[in-house]
Chain A
Amino acid sequence: MNIIALAGNPNSGKSSLFNHLTGLRQKVANFPGVTVDKKFGTLRLPGSGEVQVIDLPGTYSLYPSSQDERVTLDVLANPASEIYPSAVVYVADVTHLEKHFLLLTQIIDLGFPVILALNMSDLAEKEGIQVDTRQVSAYLGVPVVSVSGRRGDNIAALRQEIDKLLKEKKIVRRSSSIFQFYASEEKKVVAEIQASLNITNPYHALLLAHHHLRLPFLKKEEKTQIAAICQAAGFKDLPLQIAETMGRFSTYGPVLKRAIRKDGERNTLTDKLDAIFTHRIFAPLLFFAIMFLVFQAIFAWAVHPMNWIDQGFINAGEFLNRVLPPGWLTNLLTEGILSGLGGVLVFVPQIAILFFLITLLEEVGYMARAVYIFDKVMQQFGLNGRSVVALISGGACAIPAIMSTRTISNWKERIITIMVTPLISCSARIPVYTVLIAFVVPEGSLFGIFNMQGLAFMGLYLLGIMAALVSAYVFKKILKSKERSWLMLELPPYRMPMWTNVWLTIREKVGAFILGAGRVIMVVSIILWGLATYGPPKKMERAEREAIALAQEHSLNEMATANLVAARKIEMSYAGHLGKFIEPAIKPLGFDWKIGIALITSFAAREVFVATMATLYSIGSSDDEATIHNQLAEARRPGTGELVYTTATSAALLIFYVFAMQCISTMAVVHRETGSWKWVFIQFGYMSTLAYLASLTVFHLLN
C-alpha cells in the first residue's frame, strides 16, 4: 500500500485536512520501535487504490527541539522505516507562506515527491491575499493546490493530485537539491557521509551530520562513523544551521514576494480578543471563570443522560432476571458484569462533556493564550507555560496529557510535568467523586445558583491542582539540569471551532474510554464476582450454617435470613479474605475490608472502584433495583451497626482518590515517555504516600 505523509508547521490546519481526507477511517497507532503515537488514516483513490495517510506532528523545520517536532525528522530521514512515505502532502498556511516555506523546501530537498496544499484559501480571500500558484509551482517543481480545510473547498482536487502522483508508474525522486549553499566543510562532510553510508541524497546526508546523535534508527557504528567525519572536517552544526535557514529565506523570499499580492491589512478580531484574553489583569480572571463554567457544565448538562443510562441498566438487569433461568450464569451476568459495567458507563456523559469543552478550548485557539498567561507562574514551579496544556488535559485523562508534554523541549520541565499531571483529577475520578461526594456534601444550591456538590467537586479539582504545584516545586528543588528552557510560541488567530474536528476527537477519546475501561471492568467484574461468590468450601458452609442458626435464633423472616447468609458468605469468600488481609493497613483511614477490595481492584483503573462496589454490594443484598448510591448509603458495619460511609470515611476515601496513582495505563505511558521504570516507581511511590498520609489526616480531623 502507498503511504503518504501530511507535513507542515503547527497551526497550518493539517488536522482539518487530514480529517477531510480520511474521514472516519482513522486511528491513533503506536508504531513498533518508535515511542510516539502517529495518526493514521486511509484514503481510497480511483486510480491508486487504498492509500495510507500519516498525520505528522507540526514542526517549523527539520531542526527540531522538542520530542514532538522530532517525529517528522525521524520519519522522513529513515528510508528503512516501514512507514517511510512515498510522497508528502505539505500543508502551508497561505496567509504566512514565507514562514511555511522553510520546512517545505527542506522536504523537497530530501527528494520527496511533494504536493503543496495552500490551506486557508477562505482566509486569504477575506484578507485580499492572492497567490500566483502557477508561478509557485513552476519555481518549486511541485504541483500546487489551493484548499480550505475549514470550508472543505477543493479537497477533491487535492485527492486527484495525490492520485495522479501515485499513479505514475515510477515515482520520481529527486537526486539533487534545489538550494545549493553548502559551505566547504559542509560539502566535505556531505560527500563523505554519502560515500560511507551509501546515501544518494546530499541533503539527507547533511541532516544525518546535524542530527546523528539523536536519530533513533542509526546504528551505533554509523553514529561513530558520522561523528568522526564531522569532527575531522570541523563541522559546526549551529552556525551552519543558521546559515542554511538564512540562505533558504533569501533564496525563495524574493520569488514569493513576486508571486503574492496583498491588499489591505489583516483582520484585527484576534487582536481585539487578545486585548481582553491576554490582558494583564482580566486574563487570569477569565481563565478561572472559564474553568469554573467547565465544571459547572459537567454537572448541569450530564444529569439527564446519566439518569437514562442508569435506568436502562436497571431495566436490563430486571429483564434478564425475569427471562433467564436462575443459576450461577444469570447471577454472573446481572450481579457481576451488568452492575459493574452500568456503574461506569453511567459516567460517559460527564466524560464526553469534559472532553468536548477541552477540545473546544484547543480548537478556538485559547490554549496557546493560557500557555502565555501562565508561563511565568509555571516557571516558579519548575514547569513551562506549555505544562498548562498538559495540566488542563489532565482533567480529562492523564494519558493524552502526558503525551502532550512532548512539546516541552526542556528535559527537567517535561519530567516534572509528567510527574505531577496525574494529580490533576481526571475523568476516571468523576465516578468515584460523584458517588462519594453525596455522602459528604448535601444536595442543594448555594445562593440559588451554584450547585453545592458541583462546588465540592471543583474543590477536589483545586486540591489536585494545588498538590500538583507543590509537588512540582519539590521536584524543582531536587532535580538538577543546566539545559535551557524555552517559551517561544506562536499564537494562532482565534477561529470558530471546526465541528468535525471536535466531534472526531470526542469520538476517539470517549471510544477509547469505553473500550479501554470497559474491557478492564469486564475482566475485573468477572474475577471479582468469582472471588466474592466462592471461598474455601468448608468455611463457606460453616458461615452459611451459622448464619441460618443465628437467623432462627432471632426468628428472622426469609428475606432477612437470605441477606444475613449472603453477608456472612461474602465475608468468608476469597475476596473477603483479600480485603481482610489489607484491612489493618487501611483501618487507620476508616476503611473496611470491602473498601479494601475496591482499593485493590482500582489499582488497575480508578473507575473500577464504583464497579467493584456495585458488584460487592449487589451480591450482598437481595435488592437488585437499588443503585450504587442507595446501597452504599445503607451499608452498615457488622456488629456495631454503624454506617460504613460516614462523613469521615467518605471524605478520607475521596482524598485518597484525589492523590493516589491508580491507573496502570498511565504508568505504562510514563514508562514509554520517560524511557525508564525509575520515574514510574518514583511517581507511584510519592503519590501513594501522599494519598495515605492525606486521607489519614482527614479521617482523624473529621472523626
Chain B
Amino acid sequence: MDHSVTQLKEGEFGTVRCFTDERMAGKLMTMGVLPGSKVQVVRIAPFNGGYYLKVDGTNMVLREAEADSIVLEVLADS
C-alpha cells in the first residue's frame, strides 16, 4: 500500500515510488531523492514543523507539504 512520507513515524522508512507534485519532484530529484531512494524519517519538528529525513545516507530537511508529495511503496519499521 502507498504511503506519503508524512504518514511515517520517527524512525520508520520506505522506498520512493513516485511524487504527487511535478514542481516539487523536479527539485527533489536534483537533490538526489529519486524513485527507488530509501527514505527514513529521523525527526519531526513540533507544531507541524519540518521533517528531518535521511535519504540514501544524506540528511535533509523538508517542509510538511514537501514531504507529503513523496509517495513511498514499502513501509517498514527500523
Pick the contact of B66: A63, A96, A376, A486 (CB < 8 A).
A486
State how many angstroms separate the Cβ of A45 from the closest Cβ of chain B: 33
Per the bound structure, the CA–CA distance linking A22 and B26 in Å amounts to 35
Q: Does A126 contact B (CB under 8 A)?
A: no
Pick the contact of B31: A60, A238, A372 (CB < 8 A).
A60
Judged by DSSP, the binding face of A is helix
- The answer to whether A486 touches B52, judged by C-beta atoms less than 8 angstroms apart, is no
Q: Does A362 contact B (CB under 8 A)?
A: no
Which of chain B's residues have a CB closer than 8 A to the CB of A489? 60-61
Contact with A along B29-49 (1 / 0, CB 8 A): 111101100000011011111
Q: Does A270 contact B (CB under 8 A)?
A: yes
- The answer to whether A238 touches B23, judged by C-beta atoms less than 8 angstroms apart, is yes
Which of chain A's residues have a CB closer than 8 A to the CB of B29? 242, 245-246, 249
**Chain A residue with Cβ nearest B52:** A278
- The answer to whether A63 touches B30, judged by C-beta atoms less than 8 angstroms apart, is yes
State how many angstroms separate the Cβ of A7 from the closest Cβ of chain B: 14
Q: Does A393 contact B (CB under 8 A)?
A: no
- The answer to whether B30 touches A375, judged by C-beta atoms less than 8 angstroms apart, is no
Contact with B along A241-263 (1 / 0, CB 8 A): 11001100100000000000000
Q: Does A50 contact B (CB under 8 A)?
A: no
Judged by DSSP, the binding face of B is mixed
Q: Does A453 contact B (CB under 8 A)?
A: no
State how many angstroms separate the Cβ of A64 from the closest Cβ of chain B: 9
Pick the contact of A249: B34, B46, B66 (CB < 8 A).
B34
Pick the contact of B27: A96, A102, A488 (CB < 8 A).
A488
State how many angstroms separate the Cβ of A80 from the closest Cβ of chain B: 27
- The answer to whether B30 touches A372, judged by C-beta atoms less than 8 angstroms apart, is no
State how many angstroms separate the Cβ of B8 from the closest Cβ of chain A: 17
Q: Does A61 contact B (CB under 8 A)?
A: yes
Per the bound structure, the CA–CA distance linking A191 and B45 in Å amounts to 49
Interface centre among A63, A238, A489 (most CB of B within 10 A): A489
Per the bound structure, the CA–CA distance linking A274 and B31 in Å amounts to 21
Within 8 A of B (CB), among A351-405: 371-373, 375-376, 385
Within 8 A of B (CB), among A612-657: none
Which of chain A's residues have a CB closer than 8 A to the CB of B61? 371-372, 375, 487-489, 491
State how many angstroms separate the Cβ of A252 from the closest Cβ of chain B: 12
Interface centre among A65, A274, A488, A490 (most CB of B within 10 A): A488
- The answer to whether B63 touches A487, judged by C-beta atoms less than 8 angstroms apart, is yes
Q: Does B77 contact A (CB under 8 A)?
A: no
- The answer to whether A490 touches B25, judged by C-beta atoms less than 8 angstroms apart, is no
Which of chain B's residues have a CB closer than 8 A to the CB of A310? none
Q: Does A271 contact B (CB under 8 A)?
A: yes
Within 8 A of A (CB), among B3-61: 22-23, 25-32, 34-35, 42-43, 45-50, 52, 56-61
Per the bound structure, the CA–CA distance linking A239 and B19 in Å amounts to 12
Within 8 A of B (CB), among A272-307: 274, 278, 280
- The answer to whether B30 touches A61, judged by C-beta atoms less than 8 angstroms apart, is yes
- The answer to whether B46 touches A280, judged by C-beta atoms less than 8 angstroms apart, is yes
Per the bound structure, the CA–CA distance linking A491 and B26 in Å amounts to 19
Given contact pairs A246-B34, A490-B31, A385 touches B58 in the complex (Cβ within 8 A): no
Which of chain B's residues have a CB closer than 8 A to the CB of A487? 50, 61-63, 66
Q: Does A507 contact B (CB under 8 A)?
A: no
State how many angstroms separate the Cβ of B46 from the closest Cβ of chain A: 5
- The answer to whether B57 touches A96, judged by C-beta atoms less than 8 angstroms apart, is yes
Given contact pairs A274-B59, A487-B63, A99 touches B23 in the complex (Cβ within 8 A): no
Which of chain B's residues have a CB closer than 8 A to the CB of A486? 27, 63, 66
State how many angstroms separate the Cβ of A297 from the closest Cβ of chain B: 29
- The answer to whether B32 touches A98, judged by C-beta atoms less than 8 angstroms apart, is yes
Q: Does A484 contact B (CB under 8 A)?
A: yes
**Chain A residue with Cβ nearest B47:** A376
Which of chain B's residues have a CB closer than 8 A to the CB of A143? none
- The answer to whether A484 touches B49, judged by C-beta atoms less than 8 angstroms apart, is no
- The answer to whether B23 touches A375, judged by C-beta atoms less than 8 angstroms apart, is no
- The answer to whether B59 touches A238, judged by C-beta atoms less than 8 angstroms apart, is no
Can you add 6 more A-B contacts, CB < 8 Å, to A242-B22, A246-B35, A489-B61?
A: A246-B34, A373-B45, A376-B45, A486-B66, A487-B63, A488-B27
Q: Which residues of A contact B (CB under 8 A)?
A: 60-61, 63, 65, 95-96, 98-99, 102, 238-239, 241-242, 245-246, 249, 266, 270-271, 274, 278, 280, 371-373, 375-376, 385, 484, 486-493
A-B contact pairs, 19 of them (CB 8 A): A60-B30, A61-B30, A63-B30, A98-B32, A238-B23, A239-B22, A242-B22, A245-B26, A245-B29, A271-B42, A274-B42, A278-B52, A280-B45, A375-B49, A375-B50, A375-B63, A486-B66, A489-B60, A490-B60
Q: Which residues of B contact A (CB under 8 A)?
A: 22-23, 25-32, 34-35, 42-43, 45-50, 52, 56-63, 66
